Structure 1
Amino acid sequence: MFGIRTWRALRRRGVMGINQRNGDYVLAYNDRRLYPLVDDKIRTKKLALDAGIQVPDMYGIIDTEQGISKLQHIVETHGDFVIKPAQGAGGDGIMVISDRFEGYYRGASGRMISPEELEFHISGIISGIYSLGGHRDRALIEYRVRSTDLFDRISIGGVPDVRIIVLKGYPVAAMLRLPTRQSDGKANLHQGAIGVGVDIATGVTLSGTWHNLKIDRHPDTAHPVAGVQIPDWEACLELAARCYELTGLGYLGVDLVMDKHKGPLMLELNARPGLNIQIANDDGLLRRCRIVEDHLDGLDWKLEPVARRLTLAKREFAVARLPEAPEAP
């Protein structure tokens, strides 16, 4: 009986479950033929560049065991870089190189990595151990994003990113994902990163979630996570909304990073975004998605300009009372 009451309470809050996400949104709005556009980071990057959307620079691609020998040539003019599987998911297989020392590479955590270890890692990527479905993959070597000074106060060992859920081109929910020591500098919640809700209207952060628990402070820095203004928020929302036209996928997770020198960059897209964003925002996705669907019914599914989509999102999903900005540590 307790389970039934809990289920009814969640439904009243407009909380979306995984089965409903899969059936009513992922399957309903996302044509499976379009999945390769977002499941392969190299294809996604090329799509974005053709559309004039900024992404981290691509230094090179390694797709064969013989091609691993090209690594030294690819990175010879770059002191830092990132290696990632083109078809990886959840941050698995990503290796961040922040510096070099005496023939070794220094990882984001400070650990020294030998050239042989780096080549072995790339070999694993190519063999498909990190790819969706275990298929052979390609290793992507790209620009390492530099975190902003603002995020350095509330993050540890890596670059935070912003996840925005987009329904038919309308941003419906957003969260800031903060790396921790436990996540080894990666902004992936299942590896121990923090998800912090974001007010769609203003780009101001709300409370956070860590391992599905509500938190107010970063566990490593003890700095409050609420009340932080994400820079270039309007540009972030516009970029996310444009990804609907970019891919044709109606239900989409857009991951952005804020680079210290280049501003907002699109990192990757996800056709099956997770549901933790509801905990971070203390608000249900189902409620928000139905507001957009009701609005679209009145338009006979006509696509509105980006500016009008953002106006609706900011009006309908604004937080009434925002937390105050934290004091400087």
Structure 2
Amino acid sequence: MKLFASPSMLRRNGILGMNERNIGLIGKFNPRRNFPLVDDKLKTKQAAQEQGIHTPELYGVVEYQYEVRDLVRRLEPLDGFVIKPTQGSGGKGILVITGRDGPNYVKSSGAVVDESYVRRHVSNVLAGLHSLGGRNDKAMVEALIDFDPYLANYSFEGVPDIRVIVLKGVPVMAMMRCATHASDGKANLHQGAVGVGLDIATGSAVSAVQHGSLCDHHPDTGASFEALQIPLWDDILHLASRCVEMTGMDYIGADIVLDRQFGATLLELNARPGLSIQVANQAGLRHRLVTANRIAESTDDLAEKVALAQQAFAVKR
């Protein structure tokens, strides 16, 4: 079923639009001076580590084009790794290598690429091909996420991540982004990943959407989204809540994965979180944000903010 609605229906349901998000939320709550901390994944990682928040292990950083020549030697001890631009957005420029095939590398999709492919990818990252504003960038080499096996059936050729929208430490809305073959193993809705709306109270699935259409099952694995219940849900919400204090920004999207060993793990933050989370949840952000602001004004305790959000935004079934 394709999803359509009239402007009046969107307003009644509290659907937040792009202009309102940009002016009323990002412009109001996120100081420009703090954007570099969120836009640069390396700076985010360093800040998170200072706060005791777990992030994927950093193997190294490539800063200059001349370093690309030596890249294969640096990668030699690693069977699997992730290369990403430090200032990338929307999942662009992320290369996931899950294994080796002789001198070659195996991508998460199963495709085999050679050394020149990896070098060329990193060179493009440094040139800013995948980065915000096309600026020259750095390439981070990180450890693969050994994600919670419970979620294995809900993602294909990639790691499922959980986006939590937070206002002033109050979790407002959440979804899991499930990689598919169509999305090339990336948890990117615009590339064909499935967005699964999640009940803030329990972490259970509310609805699921791919390419703007409702779906009941993962298109590649056949797993039913109706049965989905995210483990360690309270840990995820508390981690997302802490990221507001860490960044000095009051309106953010926190992208979190569940690691088999370390539990809730911060992947990255977004100072301009997208609005497709409303489609995944079949609910609008506007009314929830009003309630979240009221909760934030009532207490400074993050644990209490999370508990009150779970009460306020519980999905009635």
- TM-score strictly above 0.5: yes
Partner SS, residue 35 of structure 1: helix
The count of corresponding residues between Structure 1 and Structure 2 is 313
Which aligned pairs between 1:267-306 and structure 2 lie closer than 5 A?
Answer: 267-297=267-297, 299=298, 304-306=300-302
- Mark the runs of 5 or more structure 2 residues left unpaired by the alignment: none
Q: Which residue of 1 aligns with 2:306?
A: 310
Return the offset for 1:311.
1.1
- Say if 2:196 is the partner of 1:196: yes
Shift of 1:72: 3.1
In structure 1, runs of 5+ residues without a counterpart are: 322-329
Which residue in 2 is equivalent to 1:143?
A: 143
CA contact (8 A) 1:180 1:220 kept: yes
Corresponding residue for residue 98 of structure 1:
98
The alpha-carbon deviation at position 262 of structure 1 amounts to: 2.2
SS at match of 2:6: helix
The 8 Å contact of residues 169 and 296 in structure 2, kept in 1 or not, is answered as no
Q: Offset at 1:82?
A: 0.3
Alignment of 1:35-114 (within 5 A): 35-114=35-114
1:260 offset after TM fit, Å? Answer: 2.1
- 1:7-66: CA deviation from partner (whole Å, max 9, x where unpaired): 222111111111111111111111111111111100000000011000000000001011
SS where residue 239 of structure 1 aligns? helix
Taking the aligned partners of 1:100 and 1:219, their CA distance within structure 2 comes to: 27
Shift of residue 312, structure 1, vs aligned partner: 1.0
Q: Residues 212 and 276 of structure 1 are in contact (CA less than 8 Å); yes or no, is this contact kept in structure 2?
A: no
| Distance in structure 2 (CA, Å) of the matches to 1:208 and 1:10 | 19
One-letter code aligned to 1:94: I
Distance 2:274 2:226 in 1: 22
Deviation at 1:295, TM superposition (A): 3.5
Residues 270-314 of structure 1, C-alpha deviations (whole Å, 9 max, x = no match): 0110111111111110010011223345x4xxx611111111110
Amino acid across the alignment from 2:316: A
CA distance in 2, matches of 1:304, 1:89: 31
Q: Does 1:158 align with 2:154?
A: no
- SS of residue in 1 equivalent to 2:182: coil
Deviation of 1:69 (Å): 3.1
Are 2:33 and 1:33 equivalent residues in the alignment? Answer: yes
Bigger mean CA offset, 257-266 vs 68-77: 68-77
Q: Which amino acid aligns with 1:169?
A: G
Find the residue that maps to 1:226 and give its secondary structure.
helix
Q: SS at the partner of 2:46?
A: helix
Q: Deviations over 1:60-112 (max 9, x none)?
A: 00010111134234333221000000000011110000111211111111111
Distance 2:74 2:198 in 1: 38
**Distance (Å, rounded) in 2 between the aligned partners of 1:75 and 1:194:** 32
Q: What's the TM-score once normalised by structure 2's chain length?
A: 0.96
Q: Given residue 307 of structure 1, which amino acid in structure 2 is its aligned partner?
A: A
Counterpart secondary structure, 1:313: helix
Q: Percent identity?
A: 44
Answer yes or no: is 1:207 the counterpart of 2:203: no
How far off is 1:6 after superposition? 2.1
What is the TM-score with the length of structure 1 in the denominator? Answer: 0.92
Distance 1:25 1:174 in 2: 17
